[in-house]
Structure 1
């Protein structure tokens, strides 16, 4: 049976006591990327989200981003590789402190930091080296076929090639920016069909109608969609119907 990890970006609340759809969507996930306070979250939200993930026995990962709460981490900030490495280390450490085991499973950069590192070898290297220095057993979650993956290989860091259920791709394998029209796919049936093609056929159709190859290890399911829980249920049902195990 084919097995695929299903991850979600969680703990991205700004209020100290709100966690959005997190509690309802966690039962469908096998891993969670939890905001570390730079683009969203605060200590109260981080603690509550970690406890929820532990309750559902979901693998916990850090979701570090640029220090940009106003822009939700989706704006590119000018920073040197050294600054980015230190910011990533700081955020991993902050989230680790809230876990019972004092250990994380993975690290997935957020938003603009993720997209920059997917194309900039220097930034990707800085992130991968920071993760490995913190804990060499951590797994990097990075955009499939990107600089994040090649740099993880170069430094000897384990990685999971990530694909996106509800995002369009350019022909070069990068994600269509959210600022562009049709970057996000809203039709649930289309999303399920795309995910099945990615997992079973290891390919995805770009926004221009071309097919590109990829070999996904993990699928990102965004939890900030207004119908996120309904969508998660439909996607997991679709995977199970095709004998694809989530784990």
Structure 2
């Protein structure tokens, strides 16, 4: 086999390796871009329908018009004020609803009397649609901030309550027994440790005593030699 043939084989192998690497890179890029194709197609269809008049701009304005309006609100500072108010509502509602849901979920999950007293009422209120609660909330709080915070807290309360309740109940009861057994096992094994250490100390002293060189008496050796 000549040197030219070897160099040709190497070049072919390098070309195949480069082609395989390029194909793998294209597949990875396609896998990353594939989830964005459907949203991009929806935006393009939305823009075309709004500009052609098929879709009324009063119902859904053009996406570019939405972007321009958002940019103008950001420049004027009005956007950040609205974001601040919305964030305060979300955090307040989540704190109130999540805290109450966590406490009640732990109580009903850990204690059977609390479950009997509270769970049926909570489940009954949970089955009421959120849209049906809006008129009552308006009657109770009006259209002020309290009504909005109450709706957010109500929406957060039930998922946290249900998940906390089932999370507590799904814990294996044998874990508590194993923990108690572990606590009892520790003091029970102390006497064995103490006796084992004492035995080891005695054996160690005996070994040291046997290892010591014994002094020889010259008089006894002389008598034995006679």
Q: TM-score range by the shorter chain?
A: under 0.3
- Judging by fraction of residues, say which structure has more helix: 2
- Judging by fraction of residues, say which structure has more strand: 1
Greater relative contact order structure (CA < 8 Å, 6+ sep): 1
- What TM-score, normalized by structure 1, do the two folds share? 0.19
Bigger-Rg structure (1/2): 2
- What TM-score, normalized by structure 2, do the two folds share? 0.20
